[in-house]
Amino acid sequence: MRNGLFKGVGPFHKTGLKAMQVERIKTGIPGLDELLDGGIPKGSLVVLSGDPGSGKTIFSLQFLYTGAMQHDEKGVLISLEEKPDQLIETASVFGWDFKKLVQEKKIIIQSFELYDFDKLRDSIEDLVTKAKAKRLVIDPGVIFRLYFERELDARKRIVVLGKMLKQLGVTTLVTNEATHGQTDGLFGLEEYVADGVILLYHKKLKNEFIRSVGVLKMRNTKIAEKLRPVRIDSKGIEVLARTELFHEI
């Protein structure tokens, strides 16, 4: 690879554990499923945490687009920050026609501005149920902090949200922001509710920025123990699963 930052390695393989027979959802991110025993366990709630500019929104859009186009799985995108038109425009940069998918009701994009968590939870349940969605994205989860004054209330309600999503059987991504290596937790969502945590990094090393991905945890999955390089191009995000970082991130 360029500038000697990465070095090639052989294919990722499992040691000590046999591949688990678990029904999985393909992420749609080339290379990532190789680090996840073939994909995310169906119905899991996964926190996608990353630095600014690490590609969380692109990752989420690609996850929904691939699900709709390649696996005939309907998706719902709950946007707590950007308007639907902004997200559709972002997707178009990579050749993903979300406008058509929305018109065909294969993907629903819904933005929320009212900070009533109970109404948000009920709306998510209604949208997922009516659409019979298999994939759900909530972006960005850090906005949850604006819904609550007391942390105890937040923890209780977010646990209820997580349980509700699992009962629906929808595979969910909740994005979260990390800044300078520090992540604001989502009131215990990562530790106590989430089945998986995927970390995206966007770090400056000398005179350039390096992107990488790591899987902190994933239920019923033998995960790769090392970070792997990531690149973003005109086709979206790709994980270089058979290449390891040459330097520490």
- Give me the residue label for tokens 């600014």: 52
pLDDT band at 113 (very low <50, low <70, confident <90, very high): confident
pLDDT in tens, 143-171: 777 777 777 787 888 888 888 999 999 99
Its pTM stands at 0.86
- Indicate the domain borders of the chain: 2-6+23-245
Q: Of 97, 51, 60, 66, which is closest to residue 82 (Cα–Cα)?
A: 60
Q: What is the mean pLDDT of residues 13-36?
A: 77
pLDDT band at 191 (very low <50, low <70, confident <90, very high): low
Identify whether 140 is preceded by a cis peptide bond (ω within 30 of 0): yes
pLDDT at 204: 73
- Indicate the Cα dihedral angle 92, 1, 210, 28, nearest 10°: 40
* Rounded Cα–Cα distance for residues 172 and 125 (Å): 12
Q: What is the mean pLDDT of residues 224-243?
A: 91
pLDDT at 198: 95
> What is 58-120 written as a DSSP string?
HHHHHHHHHHHHHS---EEEEESSS-HHHHHHHHHTTT--HHHHHHTTSEEEEE-----HHHH
* Rounded Cα–Cα distance for residues 241 and 227 (Å): 9
In the structure encoding, which two tokens stand for residue 242, read together? 């058979």
* Rounded Cα–Cα distance for residues 149 and 154 (Å): 8
pLDDT score of 232 more than 50: yes
pLDDT band at 183 (very low <50, low <70, confident <90, very high): low
**For 2-6+23-245, CATH number?**
3.40.50.300
